[in-house]
Amino acid sequence: MNELILVVDDEEDLREVVRALLELNGFDVIEAENAEEMYDKIRDNNISLILLDIGLPVNDGLSALRTLRPEYDIPIVLLTGKGDVIDKVVGLELGADDYITKPFHSHELVARLRNILRRSISTKSLRKVLKNEKKVISFNGWRLDIHAQLLINASNEEINITGHEFAILNALINSAGRTLSRSQLLDDIAPGKVELSPYDRSLDVMVAKLRKKLGDSPRRPRFIRTVRQLGYMFIADVQY
């Protein structure tokens, strides 16, 4: 059975083009023109991946993503405009797995979706393996639960972090005392992502928000140190 892709966009012409392209490459495709129709399709079908336009009318794509992510563990790829940098960052923080900028090349779209689907299958397989395991990393009274993806402070309070913030923190902790380049961190956030470069500001935004949640200061860091022109380093003592 082929993977089923749900294409959510209010432009009928674009949906038809994407549908023809994906079906030509072996996917099954269903469509929705707004968020409400999208919810119905998700409830009635076993969706493998959602291709979601940010610029939906009424209930926009980011609002729909905010509603979807807590309830469904379906890979979501955003369709964005070329200049929507803030929307891209917000989308990633809300749990989008990737984004692609319109207009896009047909080969790029297919490659991105296949990459996300492969990662999703690998992640689900890993979760099964780790189901009965628990790994907690401690640093300066804080704890990071790898299995549950939870960050807990010294007062035993759970701190809400996004999936991408978790990926950044986990990567830095696993390389504590060693500088990770921007390219390495970007690859931890989304392996194989084409559009993000080492100079993309979205990584800085995510690191800044993570620091704020940790109560860390870039000028007098306790956890994350900026290594100028290179990347970032985790400097706290770590216990496994």
| pLDDT bucket at 189, cuts 50 / 70 / 90 | confident
Q: What is the CATH number of the domain that holds 185?
A: 1.10.10.10
CA distances (Å), 236 to each of 28, 169, 209, in order? 48, 12, 18
pLDDT above 90: residue 220: yes
Q: Specify whether 11 is located in the same domain as 89.
A: yes
DSSP characters over 123-171 = HHHHHHHTTT---EEEETTEEEETTTTEEE-TTSPEEP--HHHHHHHHH
Same domain, 8 and 124: yes
161 with 212, same domain: the answer is yes
Pair 13, 81 in one domain: yes
Q: How far apart, in whole angstroms, are the C-alpha atoms of residue 144 and residue 240?
A: 10
- Model confidence over 4-18: pLDDT tens digits? 999 999 999 999 999
Listed residues 105, 129, 153: the one ending a domain: 129
pLDDT (mean) for 119-146: 69
Examine residue 239 and state whether it is found in any structural domain, yes or no: no
Question: Would you call 100 helix, strand, or coil by DSSP?
Answer: strand
Q: How many helices (H) and strands (E) does the chain have?
A: 8, 12
Asked, for residue 240, whether it belongs to a domain, the answer is no
Q: pLDDT tens digits, residue range 74-117? A: 899 998 876 667 777 888 888 888 888 888 889 989 998 988 88
For residues 98 and 232, the model is more confident at 232
Same domain membership, residue 111 and residue 200: no
Three-state SS for 236? Answer: coil
Residue-number span of the structural domain to which 39 is assigned: 4-129
Answer with the one of 129, 149, 182 that is the final residue of a domain: 129
pLDDT-above-90 percentage for the chain:
46
- Residue 130's pLDDT band, with cuts at 50, 70 and 90, is very low
Please indicate, yes or no, whether residues 197 and 220 belong to a single structural domain of this protein: yes
Asked whether residue 113 is assigned to any structural domain, the reply reads: yes
